[in-house]
Amino acid sequence: MNLRNILRILLTLAIFALAILLAFRLWHHYEYSPWTRDGRVRADVINLAPDVSGLVTEVAVHDNQRVHRGDLLFTIDPLRFQHAVAEAEAAVAVRKAALDQKRSEASRRARLDGVVVSSEAREASGFEASAAEAQARQAQAQLEVARLNLERASIHAPVDGYVTNLNTFVGDYAAAGRAALALIDADSFYVYGYFEETKLPMLRLGQVVDIRLLGGGALLHGHIESLSRGVTDRDNATGQELLSNVNPVFNWVRLAQRVPVRVQIDSIPDDLMLSAGMTCTVIVRPQKPVKTAAEAAKNR
């Protein structure tokens, strides 16, 4: 075997070794680095329900409108509540008159001597005055409730946000406690990255992540805020007769569960229109190990 032959063999082996090394690195980069394609943009959705029931007389917003905290959203017919306030005011007037009457009776009887009025009647009129006072306070409280109902007939935005999927129109009957309008909190956008459980040990709280939205190449930055402490066990549903219904799975192929990791978006560009439900890729930047999520939680 001459030198030329050895060189031929070495050249082939060298490129073969390089190929194995590179392929392994790429595989490792893709399969074991902490990133996921399964990310979702989410936001707090407020299901606005009126506190009182009634006919909707005015819808002050249109679909997808940006609203600010305190803006009027819709109004429920206030007539009934105005009448209730008038009734309560009348009741207060009645009780006040009764209170005045009882008070003057009591003070008059207190001034008379024992020959004209018995001490029992004098005592009773004092108690009647106290009861009348309590009734006047009760009527006053009912008036406050009536005023509150009137006030609650106009529904205002509790936060800055966006009206979404507006399905309430003038003439609808809005029932108390039943959501009539969804409001997306504009300051609450965050990302849920569904990471395979095999990648969770690589995540640290506070780690910087890159978020790339599927629609357009906008690159956002954020950091890991927390991770979910529970996902549904899909292999153990409750079956008939309250017995557990354990799925017979393969012993060899096991799918990794996905655990939601909450990522806070550090800054959102003004020109970017984020929408809850968008798909994104979440890539955790490599970082020197400081503290694993589990350790941080343990120390807390």
Residues in the site for another protein, rule: CB under 8 A?
A: 5, 8-9, 11-13, 15-16, 18-19, 22-23, 25-26, 29-30, 35, 37, 212, 214-215, 217, 279, 281, 283
Q: How far is 34 from 197, CA to CA, in rounded Å?
A: 10
Helices 79-111, 119-152: crossing angle, 10 deg rounding: 160
Residue 88 class from Cβ within 10 Å (0-12 exposed, 13-18 middle, 19+ buried)?
buried
Work out how close the CB of 40 gets to another protein at its nearest, in angstroms, rounded to a whole number: 14
Task: Return the number of the residue (16 or 127) whose C-beta is nearest another protein.
Answer: 16
Please report the sign of the dihedral spanned by the C-alpha atoms of residue 28, residue 31, residue 34, residue 37.
positive
Smallest separation (angstroms) from another protein to the CB of 39: 12
State in angstroms the smallest separation of the CB of 48 from another protein: 33
Phi-psi region of 200 (alpha: psi -120 to 50; beta: other; left: phi over 0): alpha
Closer residue to another protein, CB minimum distance, 23 or 134? 23
Q: Measured from the CB atom, is 4 or 300 closer to another protein? A: 4
Please list the residues that pair with 55 across neighbouring strands.
Answer: 173
Would you state the torsion angle of the CA atoms of residues 196, 198, 201, 206, taken in this order, to the nearest 10 degrees? -20
Distance CA 43, CA 52 (A): 27
Nearer to another protein, 177 or 215 (CB): 215
Cβ closest to another protein, residue 29 vs residue 108: 29
**Residue 158 or 286: which CB sits closer to another protein?**
286
Indicate the residue type of 76.
Answer: I
Name the minimum Å distance from CB 256 to another protein.
18
Taking the complex as a whole, how short is the minimal distance between the CB of residue 33 and another protein, in angstroms? 10
Residue 167 CB, nearest approach to another protein (Å) = 28
Q: Cα Rg for the chain, rounded, in angstroms? A: 35
* Tokens linked to 63: 């679909």
| 3/115 with CB nearer another protein | 3
Per-residue tokens: 296: 């941080």
User: Which among 299, 201, 219, 202 has a CA at the least distance from the CA of 265?
Assistant: 219
CB 274 within 8 A of CB 236: no
The nearest distance, CB 277 to another protein, in angstroms, is: 15
